[in-house]
Structure 1
Amino acid sequence: MGAVAGQGTTFNLPNYHGELFGITPTETPFLSAIGGLNGAVPTQSVEFEWQTVDRRTSTANNTAVEGANAPTAVARSRSAVSNVVEIHHSTVEISYTKEATPHMYAGANYGAVDNPVTDELAEQIAAELESMAVDVELSFLSGTYAKPATNATARKTRGVLTAISTNVNANGGTARALSKDIIDATLKTAFTNGAKLPQMSTVFMVGPDQKVKLSGVYSAATLNQPTQTRNIGGVAIDTLVTDFGVFGVMLNRWMPAGQIAIVDLSVCRPRFLNIPGKGLLFAEPLGKAGAATKYQLYGEIGLEYGPETYHALIKDLS
């Protein structure tokens, strides 16, 4: 069992009897919650952008006297934020013989015809699409931005964890235990810096270790209440009662072990380059070069994450 490089044949893709169980995790909670591979917004450029605007500082008693002339005109300039789509490209190739022999068993060639894989090509395309989706999930979380000047290197989309720079609670690289004080300080910083923290779309995104520790912190907190659930984008979300609102807790096995992200999902969405005549993510047959069927899987995908100040990141957790 394992990876096969090149063409799939009866020798490297053997058949067996009985039910087929997938043992590698393929869930993509962040990607699914913001629309999934089928819910993306098309773009017609490899780079896409959105805008942010701030407001002037307001003060009490900002008034004028009677009969005064109109004051000097004011306006607020806008700022652009951008990201890029990165290319996800795979190939699947199955020999004619392999396609024709779903009932040829590598193990004991006995008993009923019970191989659940009756179409090897479709099975391998589906498996690779699942792997590509996990690749996208990882990029959307921890991707490091790259916009190369030439085609010598690949474009890379910026992930939401990489994008967060304002509301970061770190400890200089020294690990510390998660506490309610850390969570409160992070939420306070985010709120002070303008994060909306909408209760219906803000989630604590955690890996398995921090999920246990987060539950431990709030099991003793005076503001805790029995765990409830909600559903965001088809993903089941637990809830957490904090001083700043009731937020979701999204378990994501792909989160870095020592981090917790506080993400406003409402401003995040996948962006796909729309390939004319083909779509956003597609499988298409390649030209014949022998006795095999060959498909390529292709998509150009990036993350729009809204204002980075709407999110927060807790780092250096033990």
Structure 2
Amino acid sequence: MPRIYTSELIGVRQDVVDEILLLNPYQIPIISALGLGGSNDTDVAISTKHEWFEDQLFDTKAVVTTAVAATDTQIVVASLEPFRSNLVIKHNDELMLVTAVDTTTNKITVTRGLSSTTPGAIAAGDILEAMFVYGVEGSDARDGRYKARVPVSNITQIFDDTVDITGTAEAVQQYGMDDLYESEKQKKQLELALQLEKAIISGLPFNDGNTRMMRGIRNFIQTNVVDAGGADLSLDMINDLAQSIYQVGGFKDGGNYTVMVGAHQKRVISNLLSDKLLLQRTDDVRGNTVKTIVTDFGEFDITLDINLNPDELIITDVNRMRILPLRGRGFGHTYLGKKGDSTQGQVLGEYTFEFKQEKAHGRLKGLK
């Protein structure tokens, strides 16, 4: 049924978010999974620069930079963050007690062979791991430590297009179409939703004042990025990437993880275990597909997204992502009325993307 636009509607903005969320989820899988925000005052951005803060625990491991003998009691490390006085640390099977920390030389002083463990040589590149504090009955409160929350931000990006129907186009009968203007509006909404989906994945930050582009998933993930060097995707690669996320605490809160791939790698995954299928003689169906992949670190649904590169795979936690509109700027349509011999309207939305704790996500690139 045609929708009637009258002069009273000129300049009136109508929300079209619900219409966009009814689009095919295969075209906009991330938007379909996350929604478009704006449901309450905490589900919107209130500035063109959207900022959030992330808590981080103190590091528990550091790399030794200079080799030491089994009798040495001073060790130079790349980072002093894990260490404090009266802390028990571990190298292989040896326990040591940190007695001093020198911030000038990045050197810690230790008592070797704590608790009757055997001291050993420590090579450059070896890892020292903080275990626990050395608690002494009746001692004073130890000096406290504070690690400030880390600010992370993204910027809003405008997505807009114009519906423009000439008088002739409106007058000519359109086969199978009751309302050309409404049809064109729906197409613009789909096009802008696809643009937002692409920005969420591939966006690179840019801001010159009036023009802004948001950061996307690919740019946010910096820690767990593995270059496959043109090798075929394997289950071991996916397991290794999941392990990298696990080792930095990515799965400690459970999460809602998914494996995102483009069409090519989706076919590769479906073929990984094709030789393991068992078919009954009476089974006249052939072919296989994989919707969930099982790793040593959990089961992950597979999300097919046409906007991913053909040589990449991303493991990401849906619970750590949000799409947020700038307050009052979610996708909407404004009827602009007649302009000469055309009828015009504008579809516009301004959004940003919140991506928390990038270490809890991972990316494989350079796959065959």
**TM-score, structure 2 as length reference:** 0.66
Unaligned runs of at least 5 residues, structure 2: 1-23, 61-129, 279-289
**Counterparts of 2:202 and 2:34, CA distance in 1:** 16
Matched, 1:259 2:312: yes
Equivalent residue, structure 2, for 1:215: 270
Root-mean-square deviation (Å): 2.8
Change (3 A) 1:198 1:74: closer
- Number of equivalenced pairs: 264
1:144 to 188, 204, 217: 204
Q: Which has the larger radius of gyration?
A: 2
Partner residue in 2 for 1:313: 363
Match of 1:296 in 2: 346
Aligned residue identity for 1:164:
I
AA aligned to 1:316 is G
- The equivalent of 1:21 in structure 2 is none
Instruction: Determine which of 242, 246, 270 is the counterpart of 1:187.
Output: 242
Q: CA shift at 1:261, angstroms?
A: 0.5
Render the CA deviation track for 1:249-277: whole Å, top value 9, x for unaligned.
Answer: 111122110000001011111111123xx
Rounded to whole Å, the distance in 1 between the matches of 2:148 and 2:367 is 38
Give the Å deviation of 1:199.
Answer: 6.2
Whether the 8 Å CA contact 1:53–1:77 is kept in 2: the answer is yes
Distance 1:117 1:198 in 2: 50
Q: 2:302 aligns with which of 249, 255, 264?
A: 249
Aligned partners of 1:176 and 1:39: how far apart in 2? 44
Higher relative contact order (CA 8 A, sep 6+): 1
Q: Give the structure 1 partner of residue 47 of structure 2.
A: 45
2:188 corresponds, among 128, 131, 140, to: 128
Contact 1:197–1:264, Cα closer than 8 Å, also in 2: no
Asked if structure 2 preserves the Cα contact closer than 8 Å seen for 1:201 and 1:248, the reply is: no
| C-alpha contact 1:26 1:134 (8 A) present in aligned 2 | no
**Per the alignment, in what secondary structure is the counterpart of residue 181 of structure 1?**
helix
Partner residue, 1:273: 326
Q: Which has the higher strand share?
A: 2
Paired residue type of 1:68: S
Equivalent residue letter for 2:163: V
Where structure 1 has 5 or more consecutive residues not aligned to the other structure, the ranges are 1-23, 106-114, 226-236
Give the letter aligned to residue 246 of structure 1. E
CA shift digits 1:61-93 (9 cap, x unpaired): 524212211111222211011001111111111
- In the other structure, the counterpart of 1:90 is 161
Secondary structure of the 1:300 match is strand
**What is the CA–CA distance in structure 1 between the aligned matches of 2:149 and 2:168, rounded to whole Å?**
60
Q: Counterpart in 1 of 2:64?
A: none
Change in CA separation of 1:314 and 1:197 when aligned onto 2, cut-off 3 Å: farther
Alpha-carbon distance in structure 1 between the residues aligned to 2:358 and 2:180? 44
**TM-score normalised by the chain length of structure 1:** 0.75
Instruction: Supply the distance in 1 between the matched residues of 2:318 and 2:193 (Cα, whole angstroms).
Output: 18
- Measured at CA, do residues 37 and 286 of structure 1 come closer, stay the same or move farther in structure 2, by a change above 3 Å? farther
Deviations 1:129-158 (A, max 9, x none): 00110011111011111122x33xx21111
- 1:56 aligns with 58
**Residues 271-290 of structure 1, C-alpha deviation per residue, up to 9 Å, x if partnerless?**
11123xxx411111226432
- Matching residue's letter, 1:139: A
Q: Which moved more, 1:120-129 or 1:27-36?
A: 27-36
CA contact (8 A) 1:42 1:280 kept: no
Contact 2:34-2:318 at 8 Å conserved across structures: yes
For 1:30, the aligned partner's letter is I
**Residue among 321, 329, 333 paired with 1:283:** 333
